[in-house]
Structure 1
Amino acid sequence: MLHPSRCGAAAALVLCSLTAEAASLKVSCSGLGQELELCRSAAGAWARKTGNEVEIVSTPNDGTERLALYQQVLSARSDKIDVFQIDVVWPGLLAAHLADLGPLAKGTQKAHFDGMVANNTVDGKLVAMPWFTNAGLLFYRRDLLEKHGQKVPVTWDELKASATKIQAAERAAGNDKMWGYVWQGRAYEGLSCNALEWVASFNGGTVVDSSGKVTVNNPKAATALQTAASWVGTISPKAVLNYGEEESRGVFQAGHAVFMRNWPYAWSLGQGADSPVKGKIGVAVLPKGGADGRHAATLGGESLAVSKYSKHPQLAAELVLYMTSAEVQKQRALKASYNPTIGALYKDADITAANPFMADLYETFTNAVARPATVTGARYNQVSNEFWNAAHDTLSGRAQAPAALKKLDGALNRFGRGGRWK
């Protein structure tokens, strides 16, 4: 519990006037990386300014588990959590339980990326304010590529060849724990993100297109999944089938992997004072699926939303507006490499000095591939669950990609009723 001093300074009186007496708010935050610490810090700063109290509710790192918890709390119309940290694919799933922040935002949302604001707008209501954006990135050991005369890979075939060469050479030199490539292969939302990148990079579509048509059952998507399956047990450990973000980061940051797919938050942790790979990391766009493929990064990110069942909805909205402000987003970018959702901050000299890749890969963040959450609405969780299971079956060798995708196609068409998802 954060126990701030009561409002006494004149500057704080305006905010304090929102409530007759100090209130206590509960905010849910992920514990992934430095998120919990930064959430607590920003909420605490707001509490001290306003004379209110904020309690941080830590939730599971696993997105699937966190969503299930949120649905349980909100379905019960509980007031136990006032502010929810929500994933980019959840607004449509949770909108019925979230307050409309549009009237309180007073136009401040216009400073944020249009795509994120549109993503958070359901039936004309702004149900969440963008907090940070994300896209999958390729992290690599710059020192090892230089040592072994390798270039940053442009295609997946180049990545496999480079990873194979460096892995073999490093193991021969005594590092028997070295792997070529680590990523998120556990059967959960993170695998849906990885698999979407593979499929899109081979021009295999986005599982369900914008019209609601299921498109994933195609040869290019099958090639993408079989390509990824070929990494397991060769350049990627078989244990990658149980890796989430933190497991893959742990291997890479310990110095036991050449390449890693992860989100931007891994940069600042890898550059930490206690990191064995500090100063040795490079960041690039993810590879293409061949010469005629494309670079594809799944859109990620988080927003903050207010529960309809909060006892203090206006005060909770004020907290959200503070925590998603340019001031706080800059602090998060500097301390933990969280990408701002406010475009102007990408020209901030402090941010680009601390995170060079943010300016270099700006287009990657603004043109990332969205998961089919908007078109599938409340059924997205079922769609993603079927997709990651199909991918996991292929990766583990339980099924060949064409058979897995045919089965997936049938399941999704049943869910979508021929494109009528809503």
Structure 2
Amino acid sequence: MIVFQQLIKRYTCGAAVVVMLFAIGANTARAADITISCGSVGQDFEMCKKMTDEWAAKTGNKVTLFTSPNSTTDILALFRQQFGAKSSEIDVLMVDVVWPGVIKQHLLNLTPYAKGIEKSHFPAIVANNTVDGKLLAMPWFSDAGLLYYRKDLLEKYHEKVPATWEEMTATARKIQDGERKAGNPEMYGYVFQGKAYEGLTCNALEWVSSYKGGSIIEADGKISVDNPQAAKALDMAASWVGKISPKGVLSFGEEEARGVFQNGNSAFMRNWPYAWSLAQKGDSKVKDKVGVAALPKGGADGQSSATLGGWQLAVSKYSKHPAEAADLVLYLTSKEVQKRRAVEGSYNPTIPELYKDSDVLKAAPFMGALYDVFIHAVARPATVTGEKYNEVSAAFWNTAYATLSGKSKGVDSVKKLGQDLAHIRHGDKW
């Protein structure tokens, strides 16, 4: 501003120049500086910078990337601090799939800006992001639980990809026993995420839903987990520990499970899609030996269920540039940008049409198998429970952990969990 005033004083005799300078100042004022949190390191950062720079060039606005923590827990805590201060520092937020209901009062309703384009995305994700009739976030990239298996070992033991958890258990035991006799004492049948954290909530929800035991808490707020099918699912999972799964699985997160599988010491693994590209790298002991399938059904009458994961883009209600921020969100979540992210970075699109795109399938062949998985993905009860979701999830994963560790049987576990959830709810509404 000081420089601007000096220029005016210097050219007081040139009225036309003064008018021009004011015009330049007015145009500069109209440009918005949008700050986005969309990944802090590596490929996440580079791709976000590249595509936000493109939007900035097209619109004449400026984009600043905000460096956020790596831990999702820390990111949410940071956002809550910002919200508490009604800070406008971050305009566009990258939010976990379970957050829209938790931070709903701080997010802008994107419905007027989306103008129906959200209908081109997976319905389950859009429903997850819609709270009280408001579209609080646009789907950006998605995740869902998958079954990884050793193609070579299934062929060696003349087995097929298991359709049910019962079949998986039997096949895993057969391969485990055979490989141990062949000289690999560290071989196991199945690894998954079994420690007491959010990953166990994802695994256990898949088990329960696959046996048609509901989704813990239904969309209408009803607590449904206290039922025989949910108990059966937890008991089935508990039967794996120390048998086809190492006892140490009770301390496994995603990376611990991947480490065992990728080192060639497990026939099957439950994990997210990210593990595919790592299993195909040159240093992987299972390179070119891995197949991917939908998770097994809970018995012949069950269904294949995968917990919905992934990330969304939302706009802070405290942004000083809501229209521009919303436009950036719609650009980054568009079909064109999602296709490029899928081809260049193996990010899973949230638009069903892209799972049939020849360019996407050429770059990431495994994505062709994910379409049905995402269509039938089951969401965690975050939207209906809102700010109480963290308590709900902790109660669920602790219950699952108690069953896996042999401290409780399934029927007792789900009964206690139902009572615990009723106490968390406090009345008829969450």
- How far apart are the structure 1 equivalents of 2:246 and 2:28? 54
Name the aligned partner's letter for residue 351 of structure 2.
I
Partner SS, residue 94 of structure 2: strand
* Equivalent position of 1:132 in the other structure: 141
Identify the residue that residue 324 of structure 1 maps to in structure 2. 333
C-alpha distance in 2 between matches for 1:111 and 1:165: 44
Which residue of the other structure, out of 163, 176, 194, is the alignment partner of 1:154?
163
Distance in 2 between residues matched to 1:37 and 1:253, nearest whole Å: 27
Task: Judge which range, 74-83 or 316-325, deviates more.
Answer: 74-83
Q: Is the 8 A contact 1:222 1:401 kept in 2?
A: yes
Q: Whole-Å Cα distance in 2 between the matches of residues 249 and 379 of structure 1?
A: 31
Give the deviation of 1:57 after TM superposition. Answer: 1.9
Partner of 2:118: 109
> Which SS does the other structure have where 1:29 is aligned?
coil
What is the aligned partner in structure 2 of residue 194 from structure 1?
A: 203
- Name the SS for the 2:297 alignment partner: coil
Superposed CA RMSD in Å reads 2.6
Gap runs ≥5 in structure 1: 1-16
Native 8 Å contact 2:215 2:381 kept in 1: yes
Deviation string for 1:342-382 (max 9, x for gaps)?
22212210112333443344222112122222322332222
1:89 aligns with 2:98: yes
1:194 aligned counterpart, secondary structure: helix
Indicate if the aligned counterparts of 2:122 and 2:374 stay in contact, CA closer than 8 A: no
The one-letter code matched in structure 2 to 1:223 is: K
Structure with higher Rg: it is: 2
Q: 1:11 aligns to what?
A: none
Give the TM-score taking structure 2 as reference length: 0.85
- Aligned AA (1:52): K
User: What does residue 20 of structure 2 align with?
Assistant: none
Matched, 1:57 2:67: yes
- Partner of residue 307, structure 1: 316
Name the aligned partner's letter for residue 54 of structure 1: T
Pair 1:219-2:219 in alignment: no
Distance across 2 between alignment mates of 1:284 and 1:149 = 18
Q: 1:409 to 1:36 in 2, by over 3 A?
A: farther
Equivalent pair of 1:18/1:315 in contact (CA under 8 Å)? no
- Cα deviation per residue 1:188-229 (whole Å; 9 max; x = unaligned)? 221111101111112212111233221211222112111111
> Are the equivalent residues in 1 in contact too, given 2:206–2:307 (CA < 8 A)?
yes
**Partners of 1:283 and 1:164 in 2: how far apart?**
19
Contact 1:47–1:54 (Cα < 8 Å) also in 2: no
Amino acid in the other structure paired with 2:35? L
User: Is 1:29 the equivalent of 2:42?
Assistant: no
Q: Distance in 2 between matches of 1:234 and 1:376?
A: 36
Note if contact 1:129-1:321 (Cα within 8 Å) is conserved in structure 2. Answer: yes
C-alpha deviations, 1:73-121, integer Å up to 9, x for none?
3233233433222122221111111122233334432322333223222
Q: TM-score, normalised by structure 1?
A: 0.86
Q: Structure 1 counterpart of 2:90, which letter?
A: I
Q: 1:236 to 1:56 in 2, by over 3 A?
A: farther
Native 8 Å contact 2:34 2:61 kept in 1: no
The CA deviation at 1:329 is 1.1
Which residue of 287, 290, 308 maps to 1:278? 287
Matched, 1:243 2:255: no
Summarize the Cα distance change of 1:268–1:301 in structure 2 as closer, same or farther, 3 Å threshold: same
> Residue 143 of structure 1: CA displacement?
1.2
The size of the alignment, in residue pairs, is 404
Task: State the identity %.
Answer: 58
Per-residue displacement from partner, 1:38-71 (whole Å, max 9, x unpaired)?
445434544566562422424334x445434433
Q: Tell me the amino acid that sits aligned with residue 88 of structure 1.
A: V
> After superposition, where does 1:354-365 map in structure 2 within 5 Å?
354-365=363-374
Q: Tell whether the 8 Å contact from 2:153 to 2:175 is kept in structure 1 after alignment.
A: yes
